[in-house]
Amino acid sequence: DTEVTQTPKHLVMGMTNKKSLKCEQHMGHRAMYWYKQKAKKPPELMFVYSYEKLSINESVPSRFSPECPNSSLLNLHLHALQPEDSALYLCASSPRTILHYGYTFGSGTRLTVV
């Protein structure tokens, strides 16, 4: 299995809703990442988990809450989002945070906040 699987593919949520994005990989990668991508822009790093521990938080607002239940799963909990949070949310993994192997990205969750 050489894929990163993200669910759901599309999500529409109101500003008072709570929702979660899920990411799964079975490549044995020990580093997992959440990226946010706006249209025609590069991916923007949000969080890095290394060996299931949060190692980097790029000053992301607390309405985004990451969770890494085990080495294969990564969640992003969403609460009280704003319309400007609408974007493509990408999960990625790599063998380790030593990035000489590049990322394997999922196809993303297209999030719309209304």
Partner 1 sequence: QQQVKQSPQSLIVQKGGISIINCAYENTAFDYFPWYQQFPGKGPALLIAIRPDVSEKKEGRFTISFNKSAKQFSLHIMDSQPGDSATYFCAASRTNAGKSTFGDGTTLTVKP
Binding site for partner 1 (CB under 8 A): 4, 31, 33, 40-43, 45, 48, 50, 55-56, 90, 92, 97-100, 102-108, 110
At closest approach, how far in Å is the CB of 35 from partner 1?
9
At closest approach, how far in Å is the CB of 31 from partner 1?
7
Query: Is residue 109 a contact partner of residue 22, using CB atoms and an 8 Å limit?
Result: no
Nearer to partner 1, 13 or 45 (CB): 45
Nearer to partner 1, 40 or 59 (CB): 40
Nearer to partner 1, 17 or 72 (CB): 72
- According to DSSP, residue 85 is labeled G
At closest approach, how far in Å is the CB of 15 from partner 1?
25
Q: Rounded to an integer, what distance in angstroms lies between the CA atom of residue 99 and that of residue 102?
A: 6
Is the bond into 8 cis (omega within 30 degrees of 0)? yes
At closest approach, how far in Å is the CB of 80 from partner 1?
26
- Calculate the alpha carbon distances from 102 to 29, 33, 50, 93, 106 in Å: 11, 12, 15, 9, 13
